[in-house]
Chains A and B, each alone.
Chain A
Amino acid sequence: MSQSPAKPGELAPHRIPVEALALGLASGSAATAPGHDAPLLAGLWSPVRREHWTMKWLSTVDHKQIGMLYLVTALGFFVIGGVEALLIRLQLAGPNLHLLQPDTYNVVFTMHGTTMIFLVAMPALFGLANYVVPLQIGARDMAFPRLNAFSFWLVPFGGLLLHFSFLTGGAPAVGWFAYAPLSETPYTSSSSVDYWALALLVLGIGSVGTSINLIATVLTQRAPNLTLRRLPLFTWMMFVDSFLVIFAIPVLNAALVMLLIDRQLNTHFFLPPGGGTPLLWQHIFWAFGHPEVYIVALPAFGILSEIIPVFARKPIFGYEFVAGSTVAIAFLSLLVWAHHMFTVGLGHAVDLFFVAASMLIAVPTGVKVLAWSATLVGGRIRFDVPMLFCLAALVQFLLAGLTGVSLASAALDWQTKNSYFLVAHFHFVFVGLIVFAILGAVHYWFPKMSGRMLCERLGKWTFWLMTLGFNLTFIIQHFLGLAGMPRRVFTYADLPGWGWMNMVSTVGAFLMGVASLLFVWNLGRSLLRGRVAGDNPWRAWTLEWACPSPPPPENFTSLPPIHSRRPLWDDAHPDQPDPVVGTHGALDTYVPERNQTAIIAFIFSESAFFGVLILTYLYYNATPPAGPSAHDLNVLKTGLFSLGLIASSFTLWLAEKNLTRGRLGSMRFWLAATVALGAVFLFGQASEYATLFQSGVGVSSNLFATTFFTLTGFHGLHVAVGLIALMVMLGLALAGDFKSAHPPALKAVGYYWHFVDVVWIVVFSAVYVLPRLR
C-alpha cells in the first residue's frame, strides 16, 4: 500500500482539512467515540453506552447503517425468494409431477418474481448506493438522513404487507405483472392482489424517497472540488438511475391505484364489459416496467465500472462514453416499453417503431460492454473475488444483451416471447448481471463496511459454484423455450427431451442454493474472524477508500486533494497524475439548495403520476360515453372556484415576497389568505362531488365518472396535502419562526403549491373546457 493510513486524530502531511464537511447534519447517528476505540467493530457495534444496540439500529439515520440494513433485509428476502425458486424447480424437475398444486405453484412464481425484484434487487442496490455514494463524493451523509431512514423502513413494512396475504386467504397468483383481467375481481376475488398492490405502493414510495435523496445528495453534498464531471461512475449511474426511478415508479403507482379502484369500487378501468381495456394496464405497467429493468441494471453497470478498472489496474476505457451512454440508455428506456406487447396486436406500425427503439438501445449498452472489455486490455488483471464476479457478470450480460436484441425483433419475439427463452434472457440479466454484480460489490465493499476481509477461499468456492449453477440452470432454458415450453406452467407433458432439460436446470438451481449458503456462511464467519482490512485493501482510487474501515460516523476528517476522477491515484502517483478534468463549467461549482432540489424532483415524479391519469382520462373520454359525461359538470361554478385556486398561487407568491423583504406580518396575512383560498377550492370540489352524487353519479357509474373522480380526487388529495403543509408554515410563522429572510422551506412548499395549481389548469382544460370546444 503506497499511502500510509493516518493515525486517529492526526492528519497525514499532504492532506487538507475540509471545512465544508461541517454541514450540520446527521443527528442521532451511532454513538460517537472520538476516533475509534474498538477499531475492528466500531462501525458495526459500539460498546453499550446509553442505548442498546438494537435501539441504535432501529433509530439510526446514518447512511452507512441504513445501507447495511438495506443489504441485510435484501438478503433475508433473497432467502425467501430463493426457496420459492427452488420449489419451482423441484416441481418442474420432471413431467407431470404433483409436488405443488397448480394454484400453489402459481402463487410461488408470482411471489418469487415480486420478491426478487422489489424486495431483493432494489433494496440491495439502493442499499449499496446509500452506503457508497456519500463516501464517494466526500460527504458526511445523505442530504436528508431522516427521509433516508423512513425510505428504508418502508421496505420491511412493504415486504410484510405482501407476505401478510398468505394469512388472509392466499398470496397473489397472477404473475409479477398482474395482467388484467386476471388480476381483477371477477377472476381473482381474494384480497391477494389488493395486498400485492398496496405493498408495491408502499415500496414504491420508499424508492422515490431514496432517489430524491440521492439526487439532492449528489447535487448538494459533494466535497468542494468534486465536480460533477469527476464523479465516480457508480455515483454517476446512481444519479442518472434516480431520475428513472422518480419518473417510472409514479407511473406504476397510477396503474396500481386504478387497479385497486377497479377491485374495491366496482369500476372498469381494465375490464371490457364496462368499456375499459386490458391493454391499458399493459401500456401503463410496461411504461414503468421497462424503465424498471434499467433501474436495476444501471447500478449493476456502475458496480462493474468501479470494480473492473481497479482490478485491471487502469482507468475505465472511455469514461465520457460510459457516462454519456448511461444518459442515452436512461432516455431510450422510456421509449421501448411496447416491446413487451408485440404479441398483443397493436399493429405492425406501432410494433416497428418499438423494434427500432429497442434495437437502438443495444448501441449504448454495447458501448459499455466494449468499454469494460477494453479496460482489461493492457491491464494487470488480478483475479480477486470481486473481479471474478464482475467478469462473469460481463460475459453473462453480453449473452443477455444479445438474446435481448433477438427479442427486440418483433418477428422473432413472436416465437420466443412467453417461452423459457424469455425466462432465460431475463434471468441472465437479473441473475447473470445483477446478482453477480451485487455479489462482487459486497465482496468489494465489505472490507470498508466492516473493517474485515471476506475469506478469499470461501469466496472463490462461492463464485465457482454460483457460476456453474447459474449457467447450468439457465443456458438450457433457452433451448427449452425454442422447444416450445411456455413460461408459468406448473407442469408439462412428457415430450421427448423436456424432462432431461428441466432436470439439468433444477440441478443447477440447487447448486446456486449451495453457493448462496456458502456466501452467507462467509459473511458471518468473516464478520467475526476475518482478516483486518485497513483503509484501502484493493488499492482503489475513489474517495470511499480515503477513510478508515469502517468509517467513523462523520466519514471523513480530511480529504485528499481532488483534481481528477481518481484522487487516490493522484495521491499515490504524484509523478503521473490523471489529467485534470471537469474544471470550468458553471454547474461544476453550483450547489443548489437542497430543499428546492428535492421538491423539484418530487414535482417531476408527481407529474408522471398525473400524466398517466390525465392521458387515461383523455383516452376513455375521447368519444363521449353513454351515461354521465363532462356536460353534466358545472363549468361556471368550478371555473370560479378554480380562479380561487389560481389566486391562492398569487397570494402565496406575495407571502414569499413579503418574507424576503422581512415583513413578517404581511407574510402571515398572505399565507393565511392562501390557506383560505385553497380551502375554498376544496369546498368547491366537494360541492361538485355532492351535486354529482345527488344525481346518482358515482365512481362506478361509467368510465367518465370513474376517470373524472379518480383524476380530480387525486388532485384534491394533493391540494389537501398542500394545505396541511401551508398550515404548518402558517403555524410556524404565527409562533414567531421565519426570522431569516430566505427560508427554503416556504419556497419549497411554494413550488409544490404552484405545481398543484398548474396541474389543475391542465385538468380543468381537459375535463371541463375541451368537451365544450367540440
Chain B
Amino acid sequence: MTTAEFIRSGWSWGGATLPIAAAALLAYLVLYRGTRRWPWFAAALGVVVLTLTSPLNALADGYLFSAHMVQHILLLLVAPALLLLALPRTVSLALRPRWLGRPWVGWIAGVGTMWLWHAPSLCNAAVTSRPIHALQTCSLLLLGTMFWRQTLAPREAERLSPPVAVAYLGGACLACSVLGIVLTFSPVTVCSIYAAPVVDRLGLGSLVDSRWGLSPQRDQQIGGLLMWVPMCLIYLGAILAQVARWFAEAPRPSGVEI
C-alpha cells in the first residue's frame, strides 16, 4: 500500500481507548465543573487518543521502533504534563504515604520507567503480549504524572522551587540522553521484535522498509535520536518555563526588607 492509503486506513477505533477517554472526560467535567482549564484536559485526552488510535499506533505495534518511541514520549512527557496543567489551581496532590511525594521518587519514576521499558525482554514483551502492552501504557501515564507532579502540581506549595526544578529536569534530560545515546549508537538491536515483525498483520512490511527506507538499524537509530534530542528539548522547554517563573515572581510590597 502507499503512504497515503496507510494514513487513511491505519486507524484503530476499537479497543478500550475511546470508552475510557470518554469516561475520563465525563469525570473531569463533573469533578471540576466550571473550570477554565478544560482546554488543557482536552489536549491531554487528544494526545492520548491520537497516540493510541492513529496510524502511529499501528506502526508502533511491531513495525517501527521509532514510532514506539514517539508514543513513549507522548505518553510519558506530553500527556501527563497537559493533564496536570488541566487541574484547577486549588487541587491538592499530596500523596499518602508521604514518601511517595518526595522529589527523588518522582524523578526515579519518570526516568526509571523509560529505562525499564527498554530492557530487551520487556520491550519485546510489550509488543507481543496485550496485557503487558496495557501495563506499559498505564505505567507511562501514571509514572509520567508522578514525575511532572514535582514541577507542575497545581498548588505552588507542592512544587519544587525553580532552581531545584531546573536541577530535577536537567538531571532527567541527562539520564534520558544517556539512554538515547546507547540506542542511537548501539551496534546490536535492543528491541529485537522490531527487527523482524513476526506477523505482517497490516501488510506494511514493504512500505516501511523499501518505500520509507527504514532498515532496522536506521529505525533504532532514529528511535534513539528521538529519545535524545526532541526529548531533551521538551525538558529544556520545561526548564525555561521554570526560569521564567523564577524571574517573574512579583516583588513583595515594600516594608519587608529582605
Contact = CB atoms under 8 A, between A and B. Distances in A.
A356 B186 CA distance: 22
Interface in B219-258: 221-222, 225, 228-229, 232-233, 236, 239-240, 243-244, 246-249, 251-252, 254, 256-258
Interface string B152-177: 00000000011110100010010001
B97 interface: no
Among B185, B188, B252, the most chain A Cβ lie within 10 Å of the Cβ of B185
B211 interface: no
A587 B161 contact: yes
Interface string A228-269: 110000000000000000000000000000000000000000
Among A229, A324, A354, A582, the most chain B Cβ lie within 10 Å of the Cβ of A324
Interface stretch (A380-388, A443-451, A617-625): A617-625
A622 B120 CA distance: 13
Contact of B229 (A225, A335, A588): A335
Interface in B158-206: 161-164, 166, 170, 173, 177-178, 181-182, 184-188
A320 B173 contact: no
A585 B161 contact: yes
Among B161, B184, B228, B246, the most chain A Cβ lie within 10 Å of the Cβ of B246
A347 interface: yes
Interface of B: 161-164, 166, 170, 173, 177-178, 181-182, 184-188, 218, 221-222, 225, 228-229, 232-233, 236, 239-240, 243-244, 246-249, 251-252, 254, 256-258
Interface in A26-75: none
Nearest to B185: A619
Contacts of A588: 258
Nearest to A320: B247
B187 A229 contact: no
Interface in A288-325: 319-320, 323-324
A517 interface: no
Given A327-B166, A583-B258, A586-B161, A353 B236 contact: no
Contacts of B246: 229, 585
A269 to B, nearest CB: 15
Main secondary structure of the interface of B (DSSP, over half): helix
Given A615-B182, A623-B187, A331 B239 contact: yes
A585 B247 CA distance: 10
Main secondary structure of the interface of A (DSSP, over half): helix
Contact of B240 (A228, A328, A622): A328
Among B221, B251, B252, B256, the most chain A Cβ lie within 10 Å of the Cβ of B251
B247 A324 contact: yes
Nearest to B162: A585
Among A331, A332, A582, A618, the most chain B Cβ lie within 10 Å of the Cβ of A331
Contact of B251 (A319, A332, A581): A581
Given A331-B236, A331-B239, A349-B218, A622 B186 contact: yes
Contacts of A350: 184, 221, 225
26 contacts: A225-B258, A283-B185, A319-B247, A320-B247, A324-B243, A328-B239, A328-B240, A335-B232, A347-B221, A350-B184, A350-B225, A357-B229, A581-B251, A584-B258, A585-B161, A586-B161, A587-B161, A587-B164, A588-B258, A589-B258, A615-B178, A615-B181, A619-B185, A619-B186, A619-B187, A623-B188
Contact of A331 (B186, B232, B251): B232
A413 B204 CA distance: 36
